[in-house]
Chain A
Amino acid sequence: MKSDNEKRELALFREALTAQPEGLRPEASCPDSSRIWRAAQGNASPAEIEELTTHILDCTICAASWQIAVEFQARECEEASGHSVKAPSRWKIFRWSKLNGSRFNLWSQGLVPASIAATLVAVVLWGPFQAERISPQRSAEVQEGKASTLRGEAAGETLRGGEWSSNLRSLISGERLTRHDCRLRWEGPKDAVRYDLRVYLGDILQPPVLEVFGLETGEYVVPADDLRELPAGASVLWQVTSSATGEVSPTFDNAVD
């Protein structure tokens, strides 16, 4: 979860990109708005995104256009998920299928149990260690005025273990789940009207196998298809973010038979 300082710092950077009047350009030199939409949506090559990024740094209007695209796509995503309570097929779900292949070749090679155990141990140990390793340096920088407390999104997404105070808690702590009814349940603060959910298979340091945005209830059934590479007895790791407050839960884990 970003601190107020972090939010203010990001807001300042954003404003710098979008509020400089001298950055205004004639329309002809700007990329088409559809192109910006596609790029923001992820339907552009990395080279094209890099090219657009360079343009954005000189162009207030295109920076604003990109930001609007991100905002609108998030709204659309929420809207789709709002309907999805009745029609689950319209949930906006991001699957990381292109990564599944390489990651889960290991499963088929029999390295699974050892790697899961090692990874989970590493994650539990790594979280507090990482926090401890970063904090003194950063706090010194903050005290010297060289840095704010901005740590980027990384902290909210990966820290696990150690001291964690969260209003988001699992309602299935310690339960074993089945892959055909892998029902994740949680509860959050009263003002958390929507949640984002990330699900990882065995390794939280890898990208999530799926992300679901804008859930309106504290419950989600992970499709069995997304768990097909997970060996019996291995853990599904999951994390919930409150859309209203941006609060990120600890990483919960449940064994799946």
Chain B
Amino acid sequence: MTEVWPFAQRGETDDPRPGDEVLEVLHLSKSFGPRRALDDASLSVRHGEIVAVMGPSGSGKSTLLHCAAGVVRPDSGQVLYRGADVTRLSRDRSSELRRTQFGFVFQFGQLVPELDAVENVALPLLLNGSGRREAKTIARTWLDRLSIGDLAGQRPGQMSGGQAQRVAVARALVTCARVVFADEPTGSLDTATSFAVMAEMVELAREHGTAIVVVTHDAQVAAYADRVVGMRDGRTEQERGDG
């Protein structure tokens, strides 16, 4: 059966409205060998909403994030992105989803060390078929908006942690992603830089109606969220009020 691809490029058709649910995680379970990382975890994210997932180490936060983003396939349960089950997508479709609809900001390693800042930011656009010049121009715009335009020609190894995370934020948003998944995005940064990076990411996301799912154990980072979801032993706990 031919797979129907329901996701349009942003701005083309069918943009969600505020209050619409864009991502719904239903009863996810995932085990790594004998260890159960997720146990009937559920989560919902609305258009433009910022959701923080908090919990102690080993509670399954990162696994939930990876499953929700389609990076890790759960053992059971569903992840519905605007009605389509992400867990059942082919590898090609899953890649397309990550390329066009999702963005990622992780604590380490998501930048390609061999490419400079502007190339790293332009990467999703290039993979999506944009021309080099056009992609780089858009990437420079995003670097400027994050106040790191002067780092365009520098490689990740030549930047500070905060600068590298800003590049990662720019890359996550460059395709105007509808959902950004952030796993401990400020985990390696000092307090001041953490606030600055979070503030910039949240501001740009709100500006573009992008939802953010951020995994953190830092209450001050969680304070930027509209909603906080707790996790313990692989289960999601009650959602705490609007931030």
- Tell whether A and B belong to one assembly: no
Please give the residue numbers on chain A whose beta carbons come within 8 Å of chain B beta carbons, in ascending order.
none
